[in-house]
Chains A and B, each alone.
Chain A
Amino acid sequence: MEKQQNALQVTDLNVAVKTAKGALPLVQNLKLDLKPGKVLGLVGESGSGKTVTCMALLQLLNSKSMSVEGSIQLRGQELNGLKQKEMRKVLGKEIGFIMQNPMNAFTPVYTIGNQFVETIRTHTNLTKKQAIDLAVSSLESMNLKEPSKLMKMYPFQLSGGMLQRVMIAISMCLRPSVVIADEPTTALDVTNQLQVLRELDRLRTECGTSILLISHDLGVISELADDVAVMRNGRIIEKADVFQLFDHPKHEYTKKLLQARPALPMNEPLRKLVI
């Protein structure tokens, strides 16, 4: 039988920034494969190259100051080296992107509905009315109350958690095969964080979307990820199943990361009692 095709396959990705003193490598020999419907967690401390990797995957880096080498294949289609015009067709439709800070990701002068419909109509032939209907129904599926009222609101009228869910709704409404979530919950408080993670999990089970989940928070990773890649200094130092990684970390650095979290005296029975 033919091996199931990966949703996103990255091989030998090298990213370097061009400086006056020559090229400075930021990401080296990165290999990732994202299976359909799975969540791959990418962990590492700040400055380890997580965000640069995701920008490189999306081809959002400035080609004048950065060089991106290697192969990025989205369901067999090579993304690296695509012209900007071609890439724009892929972004939003094939790859969804959820940014870290929802407050900065929207244009403050347009309504949510305006920005939502714009995304939908760029990639499909839907009429404005159909696009609005699609937007309302995807907002509804995000457990947002009164979606049609929400469409007329401006980004600053919503809280961070709500905006983040709107952003997930926008990135998910065209059913992309891959969603890249760069620290999706870091700017949110704990209750919103759990809600957003639940929505992400629901969408990947319902739509079979693969998610690349970038986070420094091992709690987020242990909650959602199937596989984990640990990154440090621009390289992947360990890649394993999430259970294996938490139970038997191989690399010293992974062990250090796992121990870094302040422990809570919450044993399992207590936790169950709470929920």
Chain B
Amino acid sequence: MSLLEVKQVTHTYGSLRSFWRPQKEAQVLSDVSLSLEQGTCMGLIGTSGAGKSTLGKVILGLEKPKEGQVLFQGQDLYAMNSKVRKQMRRDLQVVFQDSYSSVNPRLTAEKIIGEPLDNYERLSASEQKRTIAELLEQVGLSAEDMQKFPGQFSGGQLQRISIARAIALKPKMIVLDESVSSLDMVNQTNILKLLDDLKSEYGLSYLFITHDIRAAYAISDVLTVMEKGRIVETYNNKDEVFTSSEPAVKDLVASILPEHPRNRTVSNGKRVVQV
């Protein structure tokens, strides 16, 4: 049994129903199906507006799709009673792109990471403090950072706090929605490495949503390309993405920026000198 199964999900966003004008509907997901095994990372790539984040929300149980089913550990996300849902929430966590807006600016790092622990684990005060310190150290911060507020951290550090919060309950799956896109290169690499380490340590599964093929390639086992609400192709061998014949995939691959100026495509011919 796969950990996560998305079955023929279709979703639309509509304008508000009004007497004055007919309701307009935009289809954002059409007939999307995918499955994710325990312990693997799926990279979901596509241009902006392809429906990646909507699919992420549907998988998280935040957006009920118009049609189709989402099965997490064999159970339908949108047809479970509150008790089961509470248990499910524990195993399914999320890290968003904008770390500043996903934490409460008035809480200290300790409170932020402690929130899921308060909800699920009954730990004594000292035990909770020790767990939080351990989590902070695991994501590369120090226990002294516990008393700091979000405003005192940099974007990369705050993203680490979001990750610490996500792994606090030892979930089975984390949805990473553009989690590294707003970070600089050095931070990006560090966070990717951290995610990879955590994955092998806890046997986590990730859904890694991004438009950056480079980052997706570095961390994923399986790559899926989306375009206009549809899944174009899924590559179980991620190297195949570079030789795909699908035009949408080709476009994406052709837009990857070069690693060295000698491979540049943008510049005009006269400046390209071989050294």
Chain A interfacial positions (CB closer than 8 Å to B) = 45-47, 159-161, 186, 188-194, 197-198, 201, 205, 216-220, 222-226, 242-244, 246-247, 256-257, 260-266, 268, 270-271, 273-275
A contacts with B: majority SS: helix
| Separation of A224 and B192 alpha carbons in the complex (Å) | 26
Report the minimal beta-carbon distance from A231 to chain B, rounded to whole angstroms: 12
Between A161, A197, A201, A222, the greatest number of chain B beta carbons within 10 A of the residue's beta carbon is seen for A222
Q: Find chain B residues with CB under 8 A from A224 CB.
A: 264, 266-267
Q: Find chain A residues with CB under 8 A from B212 CB.
A: 190
| Separation of A217 and B186 alpha carbons in the complex (Å) | 10
A273 closest partner in B (C-beta)? B243
Beta-carbon contact of A262 and B217 below 8 Å: yes
Interface residues of B in 208-248 (CB under 8 A from A): 211-215, 217-218, 239, 242-243
Beta-carbon contact of A264 and B265 below 8 Å: no
Beta-carbon contact of B257 and A194 below 8 Å: yes
Q: Find chain B residues with CB under 8 A from A270 CB.
A: 242-243
Knowing A190-B211, A193-B255, the reply to whether A46 touches B183 (Cβ < 8 A) is yes
Report the minimal beta-carbon distance from B181 to chain A, rounded to whole angstroms: 8
Beta-carbon contact of B215 and A262 below 8 Å: yes
Q: Find chain A residues with CB under 8 A from B155 CB.
A: 46
Q: Find chain B residues with CB under 8 A from A261 CB.
A: 185, 189, 214, 259
Knowing A46-B184, A219-B259, the reply to whether A191 touches B49 (Cβ < 8 A) is no
Which bracket fits the contact residues of B? 35 or more
| B183-195 interface bits toward A, Cβ cutoff 8 Å, 1 = contact, 0 = none | 1111111001000
Q: Find chain A residues with CB under 8 A from B271 CB.
A: 226
A-B contact count (CB 8 A): 128
Other A-B contacts than A194-B257, A246-B261, 13 sampled, CB-CB below 8 A, are A46-B184, A46-B187, A160-B48, A201-B266, A216-B185, A217-B257, A218-B259, A222-B260, A226-B271, A243-B261, A262-B215, A265-B242, A270-B242
Beta-carbon contact of B273 and A243 below 8 Å: yes
Beta-carbon contact of B184 and A216 below 8 Å: yes
**Partner of B185 from A159, A222, A260 at Cβ < 8 Å:** A260
Knowing A189-B47, A224-B266, the reply to whether A274 touches B185 (Cβ < 8 A) is no
**Residue B201 at the A interface, CB < 8 A?**
no
Report the minimal beta-carbon distance from B248 to chain A, rounded to whole angstroms: 10
| Separation of A159 and B182 alpha carbons in the complex (Å) | 18
Beta-carbon contact of A262 and B48 below 8 Å: no
6 A-B residue pairs with CB within 8 Å: A45-B187, A192-B48, A194-B255, A216-B184, A266-B256, A271-B263
| B39-58 interface bits toward A, Cβ cutoff 8 Å, 1 = contact, 0 = none | 00000000111000000000
**Partner of A219 from B154, B192, B257 at Cβ < 8 Å:** B257
Interface residues of B in 80-96 (CB under 8 A from A): none
Knowing A193-B255, A222-B259, A222-B261, the reply to whether A45 touches B266 (Cβ < 8 A) is no
